[in-house]
């Protein structure tokens, strides 16, 4: 699951860099923190379902 999350994170990052509304409304590091928290929570949920 961790490699999947890293790959997913890598594919999302360039798209967000191009999305001006996201980068203007949130500092990039805060945006990345929110995404990493979301993916951590998602992987925890995935582990709980197994």
Q: CA of 20: how far to CAs of 4, 12, 24, 31, 37, in Å?
A: 26, 14, 6, 13, 22
Note the pLDDT of residue 45: 76
Note the pLDDT of residue 37: 81
Note the pLDDT of residue 9: 57
Can you tell me whether residue 4 is helix, strand or coil? Answer: helix
pLDDT tens sequence across 1-50: 455 555 555 555 555 455 555 545 556 566 667 778 888 887 877 777 76
Q: What is the pTM of this model?
A: 0.35
Note the pLDDT of residue 49: 75
Note the pLDDT of residue 8: 56
């Amino acid at each position: 699951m961790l490699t999947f999350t890293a790959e997913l994170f890598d594919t999302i990052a360039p798209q967000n860099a191009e999305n001006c509304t996201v980068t203007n409304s949130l500092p990039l590091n805060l945006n990345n923190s929110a995404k990493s928290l979301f993916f951590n929570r998602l992987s925890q949920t995935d582990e709980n379902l197994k």
